[in-house]
């Protein structure tokens, strides 16, 4: 090779290597390889075919061959009579067909080659780590026999193509490994959340079960007075009710998570559901000396009536349970444009910002005692999941010393009715700011976004 030619080869090689390093797609790199060789071998037309996983030769690059020819060759199966490329890949060595019209290996492809004016084809296997990954073909429009210089050029450029293929495969492998890693991590996290859930459930059931066992044993072995017997039985009843409530919540949660809970979405008058819920909660509110108010215009929502009540009961009972005596819990309906909002606002102690993320973690009561009327720490998780399953959102914000504000937003049923002012902002609306102290503008409470996947 003359020195000016060696320089040209080197220049092409460098350009291709730079393209590879820059992360160009394989097809673009192979195009450059082919074009470079065509420039160095006048009157040639080159192509690269690549083996796919099924062992079939696929189009890699052929920028100057007629497209119809490339299409006809795409999907070629290697074999002893598969033209130059299929045979070269089959044998693992170069195949030179100086004239395809007379070459026996071209019998099946003579017509298609003839249609596109291709007369000679010399193909060399491309190797990657010693296995054949494709072929590098040089076509001529007249019978042609490659000389030493031609062979040397093809050797170099086939090598360059193999570098590009190898680089591409390594990148794909890295990508596949990365995707697999991510999937594994996600599965591990879900698994971890699940075992945490099961552990917490076990702890949660243990206390009332121990209570049942203990009092049953006392009833059996001790000579109790009628009053003592009644007390023991009452404790057993309470513990059983508590267990039943936990099991109901766990099953509901599992059903929502699995998308197996049947929802009958329809037009529901939210204010009616609220009125009913407040009646159910009234005894608890009276015991705790908390006033519960219901305000706001009637609002219709798209919901499952029973599940909406479950959500409201959960939220209002939290508000009542965590509020001090003589305070007020407000439930406010706010019809809007295409949606309706239910606010549950209390004047309780509020929740410190650092605990907000734990609010939606199953069984996490943020250190609060379950007490006699408390729950298992599933209420908020379940309320949020139920709301989401009804295409709504549940957000909680809280300010320590001021109170907690839960916002449930649901879609309004049917088309938007005209005359409703759009752009009603969710969140704090007039008159529902928790314990609005005079002169203090209502602070925008932090929203809680923490969530955890249960079973
Ligand atoms: N309105 C509220 N005010 C203050 N703390 C609350 C309020 N609602 C919920 N919390 C806190 O969040 C925890 C989890 O609530 P929840 O999921 O309903 O479980 P549970 O009511 O069974 O304890 C409660 O134990 C309590 O510590
Ligand atoms: Mg609760």
Q: Looking at the predicted structure, is the pLDDT value of residue 420 above 90?
A: no
Residues 415, 289 within the same domain: yes
Question: Given this model, what pLDDT does residue 421 score?
Answer: 37
Helix (H, G, I), strand (E, B) or coil at 83: helix
pLDDT at position 371: 56
Closest residue by CA, ligand 1 atom 8: 318
Which one of the ligands is nearest to 290 CA? Answer: 1
The per-residue pLDDT of the chain, averaged, comes to 88
For residue 348, the ligand closest to its alpha carbon is 1
pLDDT at 204: 86
pLDDT score of 370: 56
Percent of the chain with pLDDT over 70: 89
Ligand 1 atom with the shortest distance to the CA of 382: 17
Higher pLDDT, 364 or 393: 393
Q: What is the CATH number of the domain that holds 123?
A: 3.30.450.40
Q: What distance in angstroms lies between residue 303's CA and the mean position of ligand 1's atoms?
A: 24
- Higher-pLDDT residue of 4 and 16 is 16
Do 163 and 54 belong to one domain?
Answer: yes
Q: How confident is the model at residue 373 (pLDDT cuts 50, 70, 90)?
A: low
Q: Is residue 188 part of a domain?
A: no
- The residue among 177, 208, 227 that closes a domain is 177
Task: Say which residue, 200 or 52, is predicted with more confidence.
Answer: 52
What pLDDT was estimated at residue 91? 96
- Regarding whether 172 and 295 lie in a shared domain, the answer is no
Residue 343 has pLDDT above 60, yes or no: yes
Question: 406: CA distance to ligand 1 center in Å?
Answer: 11
What total number of domains does the chain contain? 2
> Is the pLDDT score of 60 beyond 90?
yes
422, pLDDT greater than 50: no
User: How far is ligand 2, taken at its centre, from the CA of residue 417, in Å?
Assistant: 35
Contact criterion met (CB below 8 Å) for 70 and 113: no
Could you say which of 177, 206, 223 is where a domain stops?
177
Q: What is the band of 450 on the pLDDT scale with cuts at 50, 70, 90? A: very low
- Atom 26 in ligand 1: residue holding the nearest Cα: 365
Same domain, 13 and 161: yes
Which pLDDT does position 372 carry in this prediction? 53
77-103 pLDDT tens trace: 999 999 999 999 999 999 999 999 999
Using the 3D structure, point to which of 135, 161, 177 is the last residue of a domain.
177
Mean pLDDT of 403-421: 76
pLDDT at 37: 95
Helix (H) or strand (E) run with residue 196 in it: helix 148-221
Q: What number is the average pLDDT over the span 369-395?
A: 85
- Closest ligand 1 atom, residue 376 Cα: 22
Count of alpha carbons within 13 angstroms of residue 323, beta-carbon side: 30
Q: What is the mean pLDDT of residues 430-450?
A: 41
Query: Could you tell me the pLDDT band of residue 287, with boundaries at 50, 70 and 90?
Result: very high
Which of these, 330, 317, 312, lies nearest to 282 by C-alpha position? Answer: 317
**Interval between CA 211 and ligand 1 midpoint (Å):** 24
- CA 293 to centroid of ligand 1, rounded, Å: 20
| pLDDT of 451 above 70 | no
Atom of ligand 1 nearest to the CA of 366: 27
Q: In this predicted structure, what is the pLDDT of residue 397?
A: 95
The parent domain of residue 106 ranges over 3-177
Q: Per residue in 159-196, pLDDT tens?
A: 999 999 999 999 999 999 999 999 999 889 888 888 88
Ligand minimally distant from the alpha carbon of residue 253 = 1
149 and 9 in one domain?
yes
Non-local (6+) Cβ contacts of 331 within 8 A are: 274, 278, 292, 293, 294, 295, 312, 316, 342, 343, 344, 345
Contacts of 449 (CB under 8 A, 6+ apart): 356, 357
Q: Is 60 exceeded by the pLDDT of residue 416?
A: no
Same domain? For 158 and 27 the reply is yes
* Model confidence pLDDT, tens digit, residues 94-136: 999 999 999 999 999 999 999 999 999 999 999 998 899 999 9
Q: Please tell me whether residues 128 and 16 are part of one structural domain.
A: yes
Cα separation, 19 vs 31, whole angstroms: 11
Q: Is 334 left (phi over 0), alpha (psi -120 to 50) or beta?
A: beta
Res 443 pLDDT > 50: no
What percentage of the chain has pLDDT greater than the value 90?
A: 74
Q: Which region among 28-37, 213-222, 352-361 has the lowest average model confidence (pLDDT)? A: 352-361
Distance in angstroms (rounded) separating the CA atoms of residues 275 and 298 = 11
Taking residues 411-417, what's their average pLDDT? 72
Residues touching ligand 1 (Cβ under 6 Å) are 314, 318-319, 322, 346, 348, 351, 359, 365-366, 368, 374-381, 404
Q: Ligand 1: which of 318, 367, 450 to mutate, most ligand atoms within 8 Å of CB? A: 318
Residue 274 lies in a domain: yes
**pLDDT score, position 1:** 63
Confidence band of 374 (pLDDT split at 50, 70, 90)? low
């Amino acid at each position: 090779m003359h020195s000016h030619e060696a320089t040209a080869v080197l220049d092409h090689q460098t350009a291709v290597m730079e393209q590879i390093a820059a992360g160009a797609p394989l097809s673009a790199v192979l195009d450059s390889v082919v074009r470079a060789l065509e420039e160095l071998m006048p009157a040639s037309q080159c192509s690269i075919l690549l083996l796919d996983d099924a062992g079939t030769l696929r189009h890699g690059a052929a920028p100057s061959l007629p497209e119809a020819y490339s299409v006809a060759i795409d999907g070629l199966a290697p074999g002893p009579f598969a033209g130059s490329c299929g045979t070269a890949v089959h044998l693992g060595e170069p195949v030179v067909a100086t004239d395809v019209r007379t070459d026996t290996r071209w019998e099946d492809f003579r017509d298609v080659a003839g249609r596109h004016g291709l007369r000679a084809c010399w193909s060399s296997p491309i190797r990657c780590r010693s296995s054949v990954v494709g072929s590098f073909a040089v076509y001529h429009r007249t019978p042609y026999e490659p000389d030493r210089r031609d062979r040397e050029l093809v050797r170099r450029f086939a090598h360059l193509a193999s570098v590009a293929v190898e680089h591409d495969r390594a990148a794909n492998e890295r990508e596949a490994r990365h995707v697999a890693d991510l999937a594994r991590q996600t599965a591990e996290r879900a698994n971890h959340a699940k075992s945490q859930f099961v552990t917490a459930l076990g702890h949660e059931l243990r206390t009332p079960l121990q209570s049942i066992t203990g009092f049953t044993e006392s009833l059996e072995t001790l000579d109790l007075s009628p009053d003592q017997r009644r007390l023991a039985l009452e404790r057993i009843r309470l513990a059983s009710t508590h267990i039943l409530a936990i099991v109901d919540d766990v099953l509901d949660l599992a059903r929502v998570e699995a998308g197996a809970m049947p929802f009958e979405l329809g037009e529901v008058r939210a204010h009616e559901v609220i009125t009913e819920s407040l009646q159910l909660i009234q005894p608890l509110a009276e015991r705790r000396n908390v006033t519960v108010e219901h305000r706001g215009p009637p609002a219709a929502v798209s919901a499952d009536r029973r599940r909406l009540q479950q959500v409201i009961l959960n939220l209002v009972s939290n508000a009542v349970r965590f509020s001090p005596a003589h305070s007020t819990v407000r439930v406010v309906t706010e019809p809007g444009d295409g949606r309706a909002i239910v606010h549950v606002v209390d004047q309780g102690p509020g929740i410190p910002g650092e605990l907000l993320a734990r609010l939606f973690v199953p069984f996490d009561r943020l250190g609060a005692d379950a007490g006699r009327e408390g729950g298992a720490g599933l209420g908020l998780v379940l309320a949020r999941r139920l709301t989401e399953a009804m295409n709504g959102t549940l957000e909680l914000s809280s300010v320590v010393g001021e109170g907690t504000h839960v916002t449930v937003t649901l879609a309004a049923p049917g088309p938007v009715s005209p005359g409703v002012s759009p752009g009603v902002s969710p969140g704090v609306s007039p008159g529902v700011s928790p314990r609005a102290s005079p002169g203090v503008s209502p602070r925008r409470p932090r929203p809680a976004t923490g969530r955890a996947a249960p079973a």
